[in-house]
Amino acid sequence: GESVGLHLPTLSVQEGDNSIINCAYSNSASDYFIWYKQESGKGPQFIIDIRSNMDKRQGQRVTVLLNKTVKHLSLQIAATQPGDSAVYFCAANSGNTPLVFGKGTRLSVIA
Protein backbone atom coordinates (compact mmCIF):
# COMPACT_ATOMS: atom_id res chain seq x y z
CA GLY A 1 0.00 0.00 0.00
CA GLU A 2 0.88 3.64 -0.08
CA SER A 3 2.73 5.46 2.66
CA VAL A 4 3.33 9.17 2.62
CA GLY A 5 5.79 11.08 4.74
CA LEU A 6 6.94 14.63 5.12
CA HIS A 7 10.62 15.37 5.52
CA LEU A 8 10.31 17.87 8.38
CA PRO A 9 7.66 18.03 11.08
CA THR A 10 8.20 21.78 11.59
CA LEU A 11 9.37 24.68 9.46
CA SER A 12 9.94 28.29 10.47
CA VAL A 13 10.09 30.97 7.80
CA GLN A 14 10.48 34.72 7.88
CA GLU A 15 7.52 36.68 6.62
CA GLY A 16 8.04 37.51 2.96
CA ASP A 17 10.38 34.61 2.30
CA ASN A 18 9.46 31.58 0.21
CA SER A 19 8.53 28.32 1.93
CA ILE A 20 9.23 24.85 0.62
CA ILE A 21 7.55 21.83 2.18
CA ASN A 22 8.70 18.41 0.98
CA CYS A 23 6.94 15.08 0.89
CA ALA A 24 7.86 11.55 -0.18
CA TYR A 25 5.57 8.74 -1.22
CA SER A 26 6.23 5.06 -1.59
CA ASN A 27 3.86 3.67 -4.21
CA SER A 28 5.06 4.18 -7.78
CA ALA A 29 1.49 3.49 -8.94
CA SER A 30 0.21 6.63 -7.22
CA ASP A 31 -1.10 9.01 -9.82
CA TYR A 32 -2.83 11.75 -7.89
CA PHE A 33 -1.29 14.06 -5.31
CA ILE A 34 -2.80 16.80 -3.24
CA TRP A 35 -1.85 19.36 -0.62
CA TYR A 36 -4.08 20.46 2.23
CA LYS A 37 -3.71 23.20 4.81
CA GLN A 38 -5.14 22.71 8.28
CA GLU A 39 -5.47 25.53 10.76
CA SER A 40 -5.98 24.86 14.43
CA GLY A 41 -9.44 23.52 15.20
CA LYS A 42 -10.46 23.38 11.56
CA GLY A 43 -10.77 20.79 8.84
CA PRO A 44 -8.24 20.40 6.03
CA GLN A 45 -8.56 22.99 3.30
CA PHE A 46 -7.61 22.17 -0.28
CA ILE A 47 -4.60 24.05 -1.63
CA ILE A 48 -3.55 22.46 -4.88
CA ASP A 49 -3.41 19.09 -6.60
CA ILE A 50 -1.46 17.49 -9.42
CA ARG A 51 -1.78 14.36 -11.49
CA SER A 52 1.10 12.14 -12.50
CA ASN A 53 1.06 13.31 -16.10
CA MET A 54 2.37 16.68 -14.93
CA ASP A 55 5.60 17.79 -13.24
CA LYS A 56 4.51 21.21 -12.06
CA ARG A 57 1.36 23.09 -11.36
CA GLN A 58 0.90 26.63 -10.17
CA GLY A 59 -1.81 28.34 -8.23
CA GLN A 60 -2.07 31.64 -6.48
CA ARG A 61 1.26 32.01 -4.62
CA VAL A 62 1.63 28.21 -4.52
CA THR A 63 3.44 25.77 -6.76
CA VAL A 64 3.47 21.99 -6.54
CA LEU A 65 6.37 20.04 -8.04
CA LEU A 66 6.24 16.32 -8.69
CA ASN A 67 9.31 14.17 -9.26
CA LYS A 68 8.09 10.69 -10.09
CA THR A 69 11.61 9.32 -10.51
CA VAL A 70 12.40 9.75 -6.82
CA LYS A 71 8.76 9.75 -5.67
CA HIS A 72 8.99 13.23 -4.24
CA LEU A 73 6.47 16.04 -4.01
CA SER A 74 6.97 19.60 -2.84
CA LEU A 75 4.82 22.60 -2.09
CA GLN A 76 6.29 26.04 -2.58
CA ILE A 77 4.62 29.08 -1.06
CA ALA A 78 5.79 32.44 -2.38
CA ALA A 79 6.07 35.49 -0.14
CA THR A 80 4.92 33.65 2.95
CA GLN A 81 2.45 35.54 5.13
CA PRO A 82 1.38 35.13 8.77
CA GLY A 83 -1.91 33.70 7.53
CA ASP A 84 0.01 30.83 5.98
CA SER A 85 0.86 29.50 9.45
CA ALA A 86 -0.79 26.10 9.66
CA VAL A 87 -0.11 22.38 9.31
CA TYR A 88 0.36 21.25 5.73
CA PHE A 89 -0.45 17.72 4.62
CA CYS A 90 0.40 15.97 1.43
CA ALA A 91 -1.69 13.01 0.30
CA ALA A 92 -1.52 10.54 -2.55
CA ASN A 93 -3.47 7.77 -4.13
CA SER A 94 -4.06 5.76 -7.26
CA GLY A 95 -7.39 5.48 -8.99
CA ASN A 96 -8.91 2.82 -6.78
CA THR A 97 -7.54 3.55 -3.33
CA PRO A 98 -8.39 6.17 -0.73
CA LEU A 99 -6.20 9.21 -0.22
CA VAL A 100 -3.30 8.40 2.12
CA PHE A 101 -2.13 11.36 4.18
CA GLY A 102 1.28 12.13 5.60
CA LYS A 103 1.76 13.33 9.18
CA GLY A 104 2.02 16.98 8.26
CA THR A 105 4.50 19.83 8.52
CA ARG A 106 3.78 22.69 10.87
CA LEU A 107 4.69 25.97 9.19
CA SER A 108 5.37 28.93 11.46
CA VAL A 109 5.77 32.36 9.93
CA ILE A 110 7.97 34.76 11.84
CA ALA A 111 6.93 38.40 11.52
Q: Is 102 in the site for another protein (CB under 8 A)?
A: yes
- Taking the complex as a whole, the smallest distance from the CB of residue 16 to another protein amounts, in Å, to 28
Q: Which of 11, 13, 19, 36 is the binder for another protein (CB under 8 A)?
A: 36
Single-letter residue type at 111 = A
Three-state SS string over 10-68 comes to EEEEECCCCEEEEEEECCCCCCEEEEEEECCCCCCEEEEEEECCCCEEECCCEEEEEEC
The residue among 49 and 62 lying less far from another protein, judged by its C-beta, is 49
Residues in a beta bridge with 46: 36
Q: Is 40 in the site for another protein (CB under 8 A)?
A: no
Q: Is 103 in the site for another protein (CB under 8 A)?
A: yes
Q: Which of 31, 61, 65, 71 is the binder for another protein (CB under 8 A)?
A: 31
Around Cβ 41, how many Cβ atoms within 10 Å? Answer: 5
- Taking the complex as a whole, the smallest distance from the CB of residue 17 to another protein amounts, in Å, to 25
